[in-house]
Structure 1
Amino acid sequence: MTLAFSTLGCAGDPLETVLDLAKANDCSGLELRAADDEFTHVGLTPAERRTLRSRIEDAGLEILAVDSYVHLCGVEEQPLTEHLELAHDLGARGVRVFMRDDPKDDGAPADSPTPGEFRAMDRIQQASTEVSVLLETHDTHSSGRSIAAFCALLDREVPGHNAKVIWDAAHTRRTGETPAESLELLRPWLEFVQIKDHDSRQDFKPVRIGLGDYPIGDLLRALDGTDYRLSLEWERKWHAELPPLAEALPATRAWIAGQSGSKSN
């Protein structure tokens, strides 16, 4: 399987550093964290967008996602359109968003959409279909089951919608799903898979690759025979104790290779 990584793992570093990391570790794709303090943000001029796209394409890399912090269920206005335009200009597959819903009303039927999910549907319906809205399994919709239920609702209510799923495999495990269960739920809408190691004994805290207990072997067995891309979501921006990507990327390759080897024995 080819490996990509998110620039969350080297937040604030210049493009040159990111390209060097990708080349040194034989990576084929990037998730670009979109924020005012990054080289990727919605304030880039058309010329800056063309240059950024050209530099990345010339390096032989694909942009899997522009990683926004849009909250699709939020009451307040969200800059989804601006991020979709940025992703289009950069040639990215889509824009990563979070659902980030409010808690469900205790009196509401268990299978009824929340007000936030209705807002999310409206935003997806109004979005351009040229670039995908990529729903990450995260926060209020961390489980494969919850995202799959929302996507099934979209299929019924918003024909021709452009929403797909980024499977953060660590978050679905936190909800009690096995990799095989999550894949079965998400398969109709799945775009790519984010990976990292974590320690379930420490509230699923991200840890150095190989020191946690994420069942990477189970994930690889579930994905065997598919062509989904794996992307290392290295949360060093939020967990400064983690080693840099220059260490984490080769460790991730060894982590995957070790399990792939045992799988074939």
Structure 2
Amino acid sequence: MGMKLAFSTLGVPGTTLPEVLALASAHGFQGVELRAHPEEAVHVGLTPAERADAAALLRGSGVEPLALAGYVRVAAPGDDAPVLAELRDLLRLAHDLQAPFVRVFPGGESAEADAIAARRLGTAAEDASALGVRILLETHDSHRTGADAIRVLGPVGHRRVGALWDVMHTWLGGEQPAQTYAALAPCLGYVQVKDIASAEDTTPLPLGAGVLPLAECVDVLRRGGWDGWLCWEYEKRWYEHAAPLPGLLAAGHDHLVRLLDGTV
């Protein structure tokens, strides 16, 4: 099949779903990662009718809903109940939109963070299985490397719980792409690519204009025979002065194609 390409709506904050799908279609992206937040077009507060309308738009566009990028912090301290309720809401929305994945963050702050996250993910895995959705723990914040993430995912051991590899965070954590892939390959859902100027300046840049080892990451994936999704996460939402994403999509798509061809 070969790897497929998507971009995140984090790069086009506040854009309507038809506008997002038009951008994807116009620039050759097969999928979109939908930021699930009340300020965006897709979020858990949508009514059944609104969900049906959004699902129909997605089906009609030919652009796949890769994932719902939520903000559940599965390793956060406190009671399990509100965390699980938030995650179940996200799973139901993904099911309604026919998105295969939901993204969660670690957000751990204690020595028990691994056990807390594993317990919650193990519980939520049954809901995910019933709904036909997969929960992906992103390499992020308290668990930014593959080695960190697998400490949680290993004990869960459920096919409906996996990993989302954010290449910036594993790089910031000092992990080499081959190490990350070795840790996450058995449970890897998809990969978020991006580029930045330095560890000190994480303002988003056009793909290939920064320091992240994108070619090495894609080479590792290719040599491993992995054929999932690469999703460009351009964090415009958090960096007001970053260049607008729509004007970068054509060149970004071409850069990703060259990475896949091994010509970068």
Question: TM-score with structure 1 length normalisation?
Answer: 0.88
Q: Is the 8 A contact 1:208 1:242 kept in 2?
A: no
TM-superposition CA deviations, 1:235-257 (whole Å, max 9, x none): 00001222222123222223334
> Partner amino acid for 1:88?
H
Say whether residues 1:69 and 2:67 are aligned partners: no
Deviation at 1:53, TM superposition (A): 0.7
Q: For structure 2, which runs of at least 5 residues remain unmatched after alignment?
A: none
Q: Aligned equivalents of 2:214 and 2:114: distance in 1?
A: 33
Question: TM-score with structure 2 length normalisation?
Answer: 0.88
Q: Aligned equivalents of 1:115 and 1:99: distance in 2?
A: 11
Q: For structure 1, which runs of at least 5 residues remain unmatched after alignment?
A: 106-112
Q: Aligned equivalents of 2:30 and 2:70: distance in 1?
A: 21
**Structure 2 match to 1:54:** 56
Select the residue among 21, 25, 36 that pairs with 1:19.
21
Structure 1, 138-147 or 39-48: larger mean CA deviation: 39-48
Runs of 4+ in 1 over 2 A off after TM superposition: 113-128, 199-211, 253-261
**Structure 1 match to 2:149:** 147
Deviation at 1:92, TM superposition (A): 0.5
Q: Is the 8 A contact 1:9 1:235 kept in 2?
A: yes
Q: Is the 8 A contact 2:115 2:152 kept in 1?
A: no
Q: Is the 8 A contact 1:32 1:67 kept in 2?
A: yes
Deviation at 1:205, TM superposition (A): 4.1
**Structure 1 match to 2:9:** 7
Q: Aligned equivalents of 2:259 and 2:119: distance in 1?
A: 42
Change (3 A) 1:145 1:114: closer
SS at match of 1:12: coil
Q: Aligned equivalents of 2:229 and 2:144: distance in 1?
A: 20
**Structure 1 match to 2:226:** 226
Select the residue among 189, 209, 212 that pairs with 1:211.
209
**Structure 2 match to 1:108:** none
Deviation at 1:96, TM superposition (A): 0.7
Q: Aligned equivalents of 1:148 and 1:141: distance in 2?
A: 9
Deviation at 1:88, TM superposition (A): 0.5
**Structure 2 match to 1:95:** 102
Deviation at 1:178, TM superposition (A): 1.4
TM-superposition CA deviations, 1:50-74 (whole Å, max 9, x none): 1101111111111111111111122
Select the residue among 87, 91, 115 that pairs with 1:80.
87
Change (3 A) 1:247 1:93: same
Which of the two has higher C-alpha Rg?
1
Q: CA-atom RMSD, angstroms?
A: 2.1
Q: Number of aligned pairs?
A: 253
> Partner amino acid for 2:197?
D
Q: Is the 8 A contact 1:234 1:245 kept in 2?
A: yes
Deviation at 1:17, TM superposition (A): 1.2
Q: Aligned equivalents of 2:232 and 2:125: distance in 1?
A: 30
Structure 1, 246-255 or 11-20: larger mean CA deviation: 246-255
TM-superposition CA deviations, 1:131-175 (whole Å, max 9, x none): 1111111111110001112111111xxxx4521111111111111
Q: Is the 8 A contact 2:117 2:152 kept in 1?
A: yes
Q: Is the 8 A contact 1:124 1:162 kept in 2?
A: no
Q: Aligned equivalents of 1:118 and 1:152: distance in 2?
A: 8
Structure 1, 251-260 or 67-76: larger mean CA deviation: 251-260
SS at match of 1:237: helix
**Structure 1 match to 2:111:** 104
Q: Is the 8 A contact 2:10 2:233 kept in 1?
A: yes
SS at match of 1:128: helix
Say whether residues 1:249 and 2:256 are aligned partners: no
SS at match of 2:128: coil
